[in-house]
Amino acid sequence: MDCSILRFLLLLLITPKLKAQQSYAENSALDCADSDDRGSLPTFLYTCNGEKKSCKAFLIFQSQPPYNSVSAISNLTASDPSELARINNISDHTLVLPQSKEVIVPVVCSCSGEYYEAKASYLIPSIGDTYYTIATDTYQNMSTCNALMHENNYSALSLQPGFELQVPLRCACPTSNQTFNGTKFLLTYLVSWGDSVPVVSERFNVSAKSVAYANGFTEDDPLVYALTPILIPLSVEPSSSQTIIQYPPGPPPRLSLPVTPIHGNRRSKKAYVWIGIGILVLVLCLAIFGVFLYHQKRVSQNNIEGKKKWVLHESFFVTIAEEVDVGLKVFEYEELKGATEDFSNKNCLGGSVYRGFFDGKVLAIKQMSKDATEEVKLLKKINHFNLISLFGACEHCEDFYLVYEFMENGSLRDWLKKESCPEVPSWNHRVQIALDIADGLHYLHNFIYPAYVHRGISSTNVLLNEDLRAKIANFSLARSAEKEANRNSSTRYAQISQGYLAPEYIEHGLVTPAIDVYAFGVVLLELVTGKEAVFLQDGVEVLLSEAVCTTMGGGNAEAIFTLMGGGNAEAHPDRLIDRNLNAEHCMEFAVRMIKLSLACLAEEPESRPRIHQVLSSLIKIQLDTEKAKYFCKTRV
């Protein structure tokens, strides 16, 4: 009897360790018709059964054109390019990597519902992309078509160029058992030809047993399938020395209709020639017919009595025409009138921006009295989740109309004023917003040649979608840093929001990416303090940047504290924090954010951090916040 009890107790102790981290999905992850209505499935993503809800994780991505550089891969996977370059020992972000070179991609892995995921976004570039091809080809099975369909509202048959998809990438955090056994990170590895669990385990210097446990295998050398992901548990970060260039076997033979081979038969060669001529004639006929239909449509439009035809400036039309391949549409003015109910006040979002309804889809329409050609030219170059997307344009009576994606939560400035909004007191949301803005600027400053400067960074030009993810908007002032360096900026000074102007721009009109960093520093202060960049106190305008710099510098702070809502002259940074946030819970991180903002506000542009350094600092703040489990709540 005693032996039976002992065996039972031993079984209880051993059972938790037998529970697998995740289940290997085999080839079933390629099935797009599955549903998780009956519970969590490995054919979607890895389930949230780890010790932490958020952690640092790694993916293996094989370099393939056009994703064959640090900048391209980091943009595709929404990873930090500086971290990606560091861990892969790559000094040049523009270096073209060898074909099929394994690249380690660091990501932040977080629970979203029942599944872990690293969030990325993808703008569909051309016709023919499907959920299946995006998951299996573009993202190399680091996502699944099931997960993509679950994450996005577009039906599988309605995907079109220009649509932006949210892409959940496969990742996971270690279980408590794995952490106990020394596992600190999990790496999602794509099995290649000739791979086996022992081979991969030896390459990453881990035991085959730990890999088997991580994937739910019952043996140390199970059968694994090429181009399917498995998890590799690591006690230290992976290194570039563990990556290789994968050499896949030759492509499989193309499927074709059965043909009886005829060697040396001239008639077969003539048949091929006639078939080619026939196809060419057919293509030409279709092209002529298409041109005829287009001409008839234009003629019918011109003949509509009483209707004035709008005409685009030639340069503007050329710019739009170049964008057809990425889904930019040339709207007719009547379409915009109908979508906005003749630009009614109830659809006015503020200023000259209106809400428009297009076949059930809500978009934002911005009316401009100046030529929008430069803005369209820039927007055609950018493709990033944290930069607003342009859907189309129109010109009518010398006014230009740009049609953008609709941002449900409006501007950051307006959102910070919504004290009744339950998300406003959340410190985590504010850190994520700061990260999003920095990520967008990082793309603008480093991934476009020549570098572009936004010149209008402010809390009113940062918009929030329904998930409170931030996107930089209003590129009307954005210009190439190279071109702006030789211009006289004094005439454009008044166009830029006061309170965000860098000293070198005020004094000399100097335009470099550093002026965006300065303005971003002011936005950081707004996120922490809840104050506007310029606010009134007793009828006196006060610059937020000067107020905080004086306070943190220990100068004559009494008047500043009074303006910030306190009455004590002692330099206590907690008095700067928005009273919607509970300083007791996020004080340490808020102070770090203020110090980061002050670095951005340095008098000399050379003394300010580059935007990639700012981004790295914010990622560290976010990770530390998650690690410490601090959550700022509304004061009671």
**pLDDT of 317-357, one tens digit each?**
444 444 434 457 889 999 999 999 999 999 999 888 999 99
Model confidence at 305: pLDDT above 50? no
| Average predicted confidence (pLDDT) for the chain | 78
Domain boundaries, the chain: 20-242, 314-405, 412-628
Give the Cα separation of 349 and 333 in Å (integer).
Answer: 19
Give the Cα separation of 599 and 518 in Å (integer).
Answer: 9
Which tops the pLDDT comparison, 412 or 258?
412
**Which region among 10-24, 60-74, 117-131 has the lowest average model confidence (pLDDT)?**
10-24
Question: How far does the chain reach from its first CA to its final CA, in angstroms?
Answer: 58
Tell me the pLDDT band of 299, cut-offs 50, 70 and 90.
very low
User: What CATH number does the domain located at 412-628 have?
Assistant: 1.10.510.10
Tell me the pLDDT band of 192, cut-offs 50, 70 and 90.
confident
**Which region among 2-16, 81-95, 147-161, 592-606 has the lowest average model confidence (pLDDT)?**
2-16
Contact predicate 427/586, CB 8 Å: yes
Three-state SS for 98-129 is CCCEEEEEEEEEEEECCEEEEEEEEECCCCCC
Q: Which amino acid is at 46?
A: Y
**Residue range 116-129: average pLDDT?**
86
Per DSSP, the three-state class of 161 is: coil
**Which region among 66-80, 509-523, 533-547, 606-620 has the lowest average model confidence (pLDDT)?**
533-547
Tell me the pLDDT band of 571, cut-offs 50, 70 and 90.
very low
Q: What is the pLDDT of residue 199?
A: 92
**Which region among 98-112, 255-269, 441-455 has the lowest average model confidence (pLDDT)?**
255-269
Tell me the pLDDT band of 55, cut-offs 50, 70 and 90.
very high
Q: What is the pLDDT of residue 453?
A: 94
**Which region among 417-421, 503-507, 511-515 has the lowest average model confidence (pLDDT)?**
417-421
Give the Cα separation of 301 and 289 in Å (integer).
Answer: 19
Which tops the pLDDT comparison, 315 or 352?
352
Which tops the pLDDT comparison, 449 or 110?
110
Angle 51-56-60 from CA coordinates, rounded to 5°: 115
Residue 591 buriedness (CB in 10 A; 0-12 / 13-18 / 19+): middle
What element of type H or E holds 145?
helix 145-151
Domain 314-405: homologous superfamily in CATH: Phosphorylase Kinase; domain 1 (3.30.200.20)
Helix, strand, coil share (%) of the chain residues, nearest 5:
40, 15, 45
Q: How far is CA 475 from CA 401, 422, 559, 565, in A?
A: 14, 31, 37, 35
**Which region among 118-127, 191-200, 308-317, 620-629 has the lowest average model confidence (pLDDT)?**
308-317
Single pTM value for the model: 0.51
C-alpha dihedral sign at 4, 6, 12, 18 = negative
Q: What is the pLDDT of residue 171?
A: 94
CB 426: neighbour CB atoms within 10 A?
Answer: 20
Within 8 A by CB and 6+ apart from 10, the residues are: none
Model confidence at 127: pLDDT above 80? no
Model confidence at 20: pLDDT above 60? no
What element of type H or E holds 58?
strand 54-62
**pLDDT of 445-481, one tens digit each?**
987 777 899 999 999 999 999 999 999 999 988 888 7
**Which region among 160-164, 219-223, 276-280, 616-620 has the lowest average model confidence (pLDDT)?**
276-280
